[in-house]
């Protein structure tokens, strides 16, 4: 069966299936299980109202449970077994992994990524948001800086590989070096700094995201505080750092953590740019090296990522509860 036909069929089955499920289950609930016509109609209606939310939630809960909750447990369990999955090795995969320099490099690089990418994205995002605030063509400028959000990590990698190319007739960085009389370099092979050249790509993508949200937050600042500061003689820089930034601290934190989480998931850039060579490995790409080859090791790496994400997750849940 051709995939297109299969796709159309799936859309049809999926959509009609969903509608049929919700429609029929509601009818069954109201007409068959708790029909409101017998003597205790009041009790039946109340009972139906109690059950209905679970009917509405059921497909979503099933999918969430199977595709996101079960894997957390399943991955941890799998990471306690060896490569072929038949011998229990306890924490063997973890101790083995931590003793290897490859993993430690990946962990260290990931630490750099988590440190640099959110900071740089928020910095540039805030800069653009503030600078474009009163500009006539601000919306066009923002839209252009926002554009990389639509580009895949693979596409972005390709775009930047072109920028970094060694040949000064092709790569613009080496063309600039060439015109200054400097020798051509391959940015992706300079030890240690090549990590930063890879981070540039993610910063390039994520600045737009930071900018959109911070720009909205800046607009939400009460006018009075700004006017009061101006009356008191604050210069534009004081106004920005002392008045505006403190008021959007919460939003900055949200943007920061969102990008941090993203950094821990993105393997595409390293995979497409260097394949993890030249000491540029990070945890997600390190995990993909073992995927299909050593599931025990791969799940162990995934679980390490989960543990790093955990504090953010708890913080997010706390914030959400506070708002409810």
Binding to another protein, residues 128-187 (CB under 8 A): 128, 131-132, 134-135, 138, 141, 143-155, 157-163, 165, 167-170, 172, 175
Minimum Å gap between C-beta 4 and another protein is: 6
For position 4 contacting another protein by CB under 8 A, the verdict is yes
Q: Which value, in Å, is the radius of gyration of the alpha carbons in the chain?
A: 26
Minimum Å gap between C-beta 32 and another protein is: 15
What x-and-dash track marks residues 40-79 binding another protein by CB under 8 A? Answer: ---------xx-xxx-xx-xxx-xx-xxxxxxx-xx--x-
| 188 and 274 Cβ atoms separated by less than 8 Å | yes
The encoded tokens of residue 293 equal 């080859």
Minimum Å gap between C-beta 107 and another protein is: 14
For position 125 contacting another protein by CB under 8 A, the verdict is no
Minimum Å gap between C-beta 284 and another protein is: 6
What x-and-dash track marks residues 259-298 binding another protein by CB under 8 A? Answer: --x--xx-xx--xx-----------x--xx--x---x--x
Residues 5-34, interacting with another protein (CB under 8 A): 6-7, 10-11, 14-15, 18-19, 22-23, 26, 30
| 311 and 261 Cβ atoms separated by less than 8 Å | no
Q: Which is closer to another protein, CB of 195 or CB of 288?
A: 288
Return d(Cα 226, Cα 21) in angstroms, integer. 54
- Report the residue from 193, 216, 241, 249 that binds another protein according to the rule CB under 8 A: 216
| Contact residues for 268 (Cβ-Cβ < 8 A; gap 6+) | 152, 153, 154, 157
Query: What 3-state class would DSSP assign to 319?
Result: helix
Return d(Cα 229, Cα 235) in angstroms, integer. 9
Distance between alpha carbon 215 and the CA centroid of its chain, in Å?
20
Q: Which is closer to another protein, CB of 29 or CB of 116?
A: 29
Minimum Å gap between C-beta 174 and another protein is: 10
Q: Which stretch binds another protein (CB under 8 A): 95-103, 109-117, 186-194, 208-216?
A: 208-216
Place of tokens 């009972």: 47
113, with CB counted inside 10 A (0-12, 13-18, 19+), is buried
Query: Residue 207 phi/psi, 5° resolution?
Result: -60, -40
Return d(Cα 284, Cα 268) in angstroms, integer. 9
DSSP conformational letter for 182? P
Minimum Å gap between C-beta 112 and another protein is: 18
Helices (H), 132-171: 138-146, 153-164
For position 232 contacting another protein by CB under 8 A, the verdict is no
Biggest distance spanned by C-alpha atoms of the chain: 95
Minimum Å gap between C-beta 109 and another protein is: 16
What x-and-dash track marks residues 84-103 binding another protein by CB under 8 A? Answer: --------------------
């Amino acid at each position: 069966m051709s995939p297109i036909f299969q796709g159309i069929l799936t859309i049809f089955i999926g959509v009609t299936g969903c509608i049929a499920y919700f429609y029929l289950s509601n009818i069954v609930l109201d007409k068959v299980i708790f029909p409101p016509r017998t003597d205790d109609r009041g009790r039946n209606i109340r009972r139906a109202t109690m059950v209905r939310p679970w009917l509405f939630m059921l497909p979503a809960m099933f999918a969430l449970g199977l595709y996101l909750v079960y894997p957390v447990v399943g991955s941890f369990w799998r990471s306690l077994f060896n490569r072929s999955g038949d011998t229990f090795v306890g924490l063997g995969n973890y101790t083995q992994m931590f003793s290897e320099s490859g993993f430690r490099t990946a962990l260290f690089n990931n630490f750099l990524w988590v440190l640099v990418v959110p900071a740089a994205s928020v910095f540039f995002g805030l800069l653009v948001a503030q600078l474009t605030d009163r500009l006539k063509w601000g919306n066009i400028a923002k839209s252009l800086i926002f554009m990389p959000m639509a580009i895949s990590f693979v596409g972005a990698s390709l775009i930047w590989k072109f920028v970094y190319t060694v040949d000064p007739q092709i790569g613009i960085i080496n063309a600039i070096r060439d015109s200054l009389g400097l020798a051509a370099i391959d940015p992706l092979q300079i030890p240690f700094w090549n990590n930063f050249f890879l981070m540039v790509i993610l910063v390039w993508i994520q600045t737009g995201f930071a900018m959109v949200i911070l720009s909205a937050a800046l607009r939400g600042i009460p006018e009075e505080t700004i006017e009061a500061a101006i009356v008191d003689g604050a210069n534009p820089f004081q106004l920005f750092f002392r008045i505006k930034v403190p008021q959007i601290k919460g939003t900055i934190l949200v943007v920061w953590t969102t990008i941090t989480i993203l950094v821990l998931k993105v393997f595409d850039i390293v995979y497409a740019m260097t394949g993890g060579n030249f000491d540029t490995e990070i945890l997600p790409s390190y995990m993909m090296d073992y995927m299909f080859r050593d599931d025990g090791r791969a799940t162990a790496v995934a679980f390490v990522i989960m543990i790093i994400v955990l504090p953010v997750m708890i913080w997010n849940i706390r914030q959400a509860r506070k708002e409810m």
